[in-house]
Structure 1
């Protein structure tokens, strides 16, 4: 599947001090992403991301993703405006078999404590548009609710006499017509 929002950066072409990329999604990209995320609409999606080279052929992307959108209230099902503002800080690394190593150097052992494992650099490229779309999606409220709407559970029904197999015995023993 093609990404609804794509901006490719080649890691080997990055300047020494990094590069800042500003992304502003086009109306077609916003419409495609809204359809993918099942949103009524995305009015604005921008990202300012700085990409810097890191050790061992890797890269680090930092910045901010902002957006304005319309979500559907889970209580009233009415559309309402919402905003997203998400900080981005992601490490990228080439796959282990592509990473340059000194002769005799063992593969890096990744600790599961602390930072997340780096995302892969694929064919020497990072898709900043896909990264912006990912962080936009992460910033969405999973249970959107209009500010003035409150959930009110349905009233509890009055407890009735429990219908059990023995309820018929409550009426007493029927008369025996012998």
Structure 2
């Protein structure tokens, strides 16, 4: 039984086979997956998304290391203009069989992600680390938020008083 895919990018990997092969595993998102992730993350576009992973350990305890890299379009929070940027995130995640920590209170241990039915999903891991690498307040290069200077703030009712003055009859 394969775990249900989570999100638009799913690449289930059989841990036993991956450990025996001992090779780097590369996850590349296709155009449809990138478009779905861009919608999920509120990005104008994801031009490329690649995860490169190495697995070490056993069938019951596993460490995944690697990198997630992407070329994306973001929207500047200051100018609202789209701009291109890159994301590069280092990955280091522990996995374990679900019964490896049976009886351990969650607050007492840093519980690893589960190995479900002998599989882990490197596609979900790729999407997760892309999300972690996104700047929540992206700014176009060279753009900075300039708050109004002290004393520059206008009374919000000043313009209304001007309008009110124009409507009042003369001689009252």
Shorter-chain TM-score: which interval? Answer: 0.7 to 0.9
Contact 2:19 2:55 in 1 (8 A): no
CA distance in 2, matches of 1:3, 1:151: 34
- In structure 2, relative to structure 1, the CA distance for the partners of 1:111 and 1:159 (3 Å cut) is closer
Contact 2:6 2:124 in 1 (8 A): no
Instruction: Show structure 2 runs of 5+ residues with no match.
Output: 155-172
Q: Secondary structure at the match of 2:55?
A: strand
Question: What's the TM-score, normalizing by structure 1?
Answer: 0.73
Instruction: Show structure 1 runs of 5+ residues with no match.
Output: 101-105, 161-178
Determine the structure 1 residue equivalent to 2:78: 75
2:3 aligned with 1:11? no
- In structure 2, relative to structure 1, the CA distance for the partners of 1:148 and 1:126 (3 Å cut) is same
CA distance in 2, matches of 1:139, 1:30: 15
Deviates more, 1:124-133 or 1:11-20: 11-20
- Cα offsets for 1:78-126 (capped at 9, x unmatched): 1111110111110001112xx49xxxxx85677858xx43111122210
Q: Count residues with an aligned counterpart.
A: 150
Contact 1:30 1:42 in 2 (8 A): yes
Runs of 4+ in 1 over 2 A off after TM superposition: 12-19, 106-113, 154-160
- In structure 2, relative to structure 1, the CA distance for the partners of 1:9 and 1:155 (3 Å cut) is same
Q: Secondary structure at the match of 1:14?
A: helix
Larger helix proportion, structure 1 or 2? 2
- Cα offsets for 1:26-85 (capped at 9, x unmatched): 01111011011010000111111012233x712111111111101111111111111101
Contact 1:14 1:53 in 2 (8 A): no
Question: What's the TM-score, normalizing by structure 2?
Answer: 0.76
